Amino acid sequence: MASSTVEDYLKTLYAVHQSSGEATNVPIGRLASAMGVVPGTATSMMKALADAGLVEYASRAGVRLSPRGEQLALHVLRRHRIVELFLVEVLGLDWSVVHEEADLLEHAISDRVLEKLDLLLGSPRFDPHGDPIPTPDGTFEEPEWVSLATCPTGVRQQVMRILNQQIDFLQFVERQGLRPGAIVKVRSRDADADTSTILVHGRKAASLSLAVASQILVAAAPSPSA
Amino acid sequence: MASSTVEDYLKTLYAVHQSSGEATNVPIGRLASAMGVVPGTATSMMKALADAGLVEYASRAGVRLSPRGEQLALHVLRRHRIVELFLVEVLGLDWSVVHEEADLLEHAISDRVLEKLDLLLGSPRFDPHGDPIPTPDGTFEEPEWVSLATCPTGVRQQVMRILNQQIDFLQFVERQGLRPGAIVKVRSRDADADTSTILVHGRKAASLSLAVASQILVAAAPSPSA
DNA sequence: TCTCTCTCTTTGAGTACTCAAAGAGAACGG
DNA sequence: CCGTTCTCTTTGAGTACTCAAAGAGAGAGA
C-alpha cells in the first residue's frame, strides 16, 4: 500500500504533468514547489518511487509517472473528485472548501466505500469544479472545452470547469456567478489591455484579465429556454 | 494537531480504561497489546504524551488520560461512531465491516465535515452497534443496560448494544438475528454448564456461552405490538 | 531472606519523511 | 571559451514511530 505521502506525490506529479505541455518530463524543481518541499526532498523521494516502479526518473532529466504510477494517480484522483462531489451534493458543504477537505479524505477511502459513494452519486462524470472523474479502470473523459480567454465572443456559452481551485479564486468565481452551469457571453476582449468583459446570465457584467479568464472553461450553451 | 497515531493511542487508552474496572490506571502492557505494539513502544509513547499533557504517567504505575486527553479521545470516538452510522445508514455498508472502515476515516474527518454528517443523520445518540455517541462538548449517554448473561430470564428484552466488535463476532450476531433492535427472551441460563438459551423474536433459539451472552446488552422491551 | 519470574524501561537501531547547506552539472551571457 | 548562475543532487541531521533485546524493579514462593 502506498502511503498518503506517496499518493500525494503521484497525484501532484500527474497534475503538474498535465498542466505543463504534455509528453515532457517534469523538472524536480516544479514538483518540489508544487509539493511544498525543498528540492532535495523531492529528489530523494523520486529515487524511492523509481525503485518502487512508480515513476521513471533519471538524474537531472526530470520525472514522469510509470504506467503503474499513473494508474495509482488516477485512482487517487477518482477518490478525490468523488469525495468532493459527495461533500457538495450530499453534505451541502461550501463549494469553495471541498478541495482541501478532499485532500484529507482521499487517503482514507477504501475501495469498498468509494464504490458505495459512486453508487449514491449515480456514477457521476464530473466533480463540482467540472473536473472529469476517472473511471475505476483509469479511463478519462476530457471534453474539448475552451476558456473564456479564447472562446468566440458574443455567443452564449455555458461555464463547464474552473481550473484554478484555490479557495480565494473559487469564492471570487462564486461571487461573480460564474459557477459551472452558469450561462455567460463574452461581450468584449482586448489583448492589449489584457481584459475581457463577461455578461453573466445576460445581466451582470464582470471584467476579467485574460489570465483569469483562461482559468474558466466553457462550451457552447444549449439553445435558450425562452 | 494530534497525529493519527496519537489519536489511536488516546482512543485505545480510553477503551481499555472503560473495559477494565474504572478509576484505576491502565498498565502499560495492556495498552501495548491493545495497540498491537511491543511494551517498549508504548512506554516511550506515553512519555511523549505525558510531556504533551494528554496523559498522566509515572514509571511502573500505569497511565491514565488527563482531562485534555480524555476530551480528545471522546472527540475521536464521536467521529468514529458518527462515521460508522453514516456508513451503514447512508452508504448501506455491511454492519460488520464499518468498524475497520471507521478506524481509517476517523482521522480524516474535519469538524466541518463531522457536523454536516451529524446533521444529515439527525444528531443520532447511538451508533449501529449501540455504542453511545459523545456530544461535541464530550458528554456522554451511558444507559443502564444489562447483558444477556445477567438480565432477568423469561422476560421480553430488546437488544441494545454489542460490545465485542470484531468482524467475526458481529457476523455471528447477525446470523443469529441478534442485532440491536431485536426482541429476545432468555429462556434458560445455567451457570455450571456456562450456557444460556435465547429465544430470538419468539421463534429461533440460540445457545450462547455466558461469556458470549455478556457481550450483548439488552433493555426491557416495549410492550408487544399485538 | 533469597531468588525466580513477570512486567516495565532503556538502549540501539531501522524506516519514512523532512530540512539546511554544501557540492556538482548544465546552460547562458559575455 | 570561460565564468556566473541556476537547478539539481548529496550529505548530515532531526522528528515521529517502530522493534529487538538487554537491563531494572517489584512481588511471590520457597
pLDDT in tens, B155-198: 999 999 999 998 999 999 999 999 999 999 999 999 899 999 99
Question: Over the stretch B103-134, which tens digit does the pLDDT of each residue have?
Answer: 999 999 999 999 999 999 999 999 999 999 99
Model pLDDT, residue B61:
94
In degrees, to the nearest 5, what angle opens at C-alpha A169 toward C-alphas A145 and B111? 115
Q: What is the mean pLDDT of residues B36-58?
A: 98
How sure is the predictor about B203, in pLDDT bands with cuts at 50, 70 and 90? confident
How sure is the predictor about A225, in pLDDT bands with cuts at 50, 70 and 90? low
Which residue type sits at A167? I
CA distance B130 to B160: 6
CA distance B203 to B177: 11
CA distance A99 to A107: 13
Model pLDDT, residue A20:
85
CB-contacted nucleotides of strand D (7 Å): 7-12, 16-22, 25-26
CB B112 within 8 A of CB B42: no
User: Which residues 57-76 of chain B have a CB under 7 Å from nucleic chain D?
Assistant: 60
Which residue among A104, A110, A112 sits closest to B110, beta carbon to beta carbon? A104
Give the number of C-alpha atoms closer than 13 A to the C-alpha of residue A99, restricted to the C-beta side.
Answer: 15
Nucleotide C10, nearest residue via CA and C1': B40
Please, is A222 exposed, middle or buried when counting C-beta atoms within 10 Å of its C-beta (0-12, 13-18, 19+)? exposed
Model pLDDT, residue A3:
97
Other residues' Cβ atoms within 10 Å of the Cβ of residue A215: 18
Question: Over the stretch B162-171, which tens digit does the pLDDT of each residue have?
Answer: 999 989 999 9
Q: How far is CA B89 from CA A83, A103, A143, A174, B129, in A?
A: 18, 24, 36, 32, 12
**Is pLDDT above 90 for A22?**
no
* Cβ distance of A105 and B104 shorter than 8 Å: no
Top pLDDT among B42 and A222 is at B42
**Is pLDDT above 90 for B10?**
yes
| Strands (E) located in B51-209 | 55-57, 63-65, 146-147, 156-162, 183-190, 195-200, 205-209
Question: Over the stretch A49-107, which tens digit does the pLDDT of each residue have?
Answer: 999 999 999 999 999 999 999 999 999 999 999 999 999 999 999 988 999 999 999 99
Other residues' Cβ atoms within 10 Å of the Cβ of residue A95: 18
Q: How far is the CA of A28 from the C1' of C25 (A)?
A: 15
* Cβ distance of B113 and A93 shorter than 8 Å: yes
Q: Torsions phi, psi of A160, nearest 5? A: -115, -30
**Is pLDDT above 90 for B226?**
no
**Is pLDDT above 60 for A226?**
no
CB B213 within 8 A of CB B177: no
Is the torsion defined by CA of B76, B81, B87, B89 positive or negative?
negative
Please, is B111 exposed, middle or buried when counting C-beta atoms within 10 Å of its C-beta (0-12, 13-18, 19+)? exposed
B155-185 burial by CB neighbour count: b if 16+ within 10 A, else e?
ebbebbbbeebeeebbebbeebbbbbebbbb
Taking all atoms of strand C, which protein residues have CB closer than 7 Å? A 3, 5-6, 35-41, 44-45, 48, 60; B 27-30, 32, 39-40, 42-44, 46-47, 59-60, 62
Q: Which residue has cell 471534453?
A: A143
Is the torsion defined by CA of B185, B188, B194, B195 positive or negative?
negative
| Candidates A90, A97, A106, A115, partner chain B, best to mutate (most B CBs within 10 A) | A90
Please, is A71 exposed, middle or buried when counting C-beta atoms within 10 Å of its C-beta (0-12, 13-18, 19+)? middle
Helix segments in A62-134, DSSP class H: 67-89, 98-105, 111-121
User: Which residues 66-125 of chain B have a CB under 7 Å from nucleic chain D?
Assistant: none
Residues 6+ apart with CB under 8 A from A167: A96, A97, A99, A100
Residues 6+ apart with CB under 8 A from B213: B147, B148, B149, B189, B196, B198
How sure is the predictor about B225, in pLDDT bands with cuts at 50, 70 and 90? low
pTM exceeds 0.85, yes or no = yes
Nearest CA in chain B to A107: B108
Residue A193: which of A175, A172, A210 has the closest Cα?
A210
Residues of B in contact with A120 (CB under 8 A): 90-91
- The whole-chain average pLDDT of chain B stands at 94
Q: How far is the CA of A163 from the C1' of C18 (A)?
A: 30
> What is the distance in angstroms between the Cα of B200 and the nearest Cα belonging to chain A?
31
Q: Torsions phi, psi of B64, nearest 5? A: -145, 160
Model pLDDT, residue B22:
66
Query: What percent of chain A is predicted at pLDDT more than 90?
Result: 87
Q: How far is the CA of A59 from the C1' of C27 (A)?
A: 16
How sure is the predictor about A11, in pLDDT bands with cuts at 50, 70 and 90? very high
Q: Which residue has cell 441494545?
A: B160
CA distance A84 to A114: 12
- Residue A8's nearest nucleotide, by CA–C1', is C17
Distance of CA A20 to the CA centre of its chain: 13
CA distance A145 to B11: 49
Q: How far is the CA of B38 from the C1' of D19 (A)?
A: 7
List the grid coordinates of B52. Answer: 504533551
Helix (H, G, I), strand (E, B) or coil at B27: coil
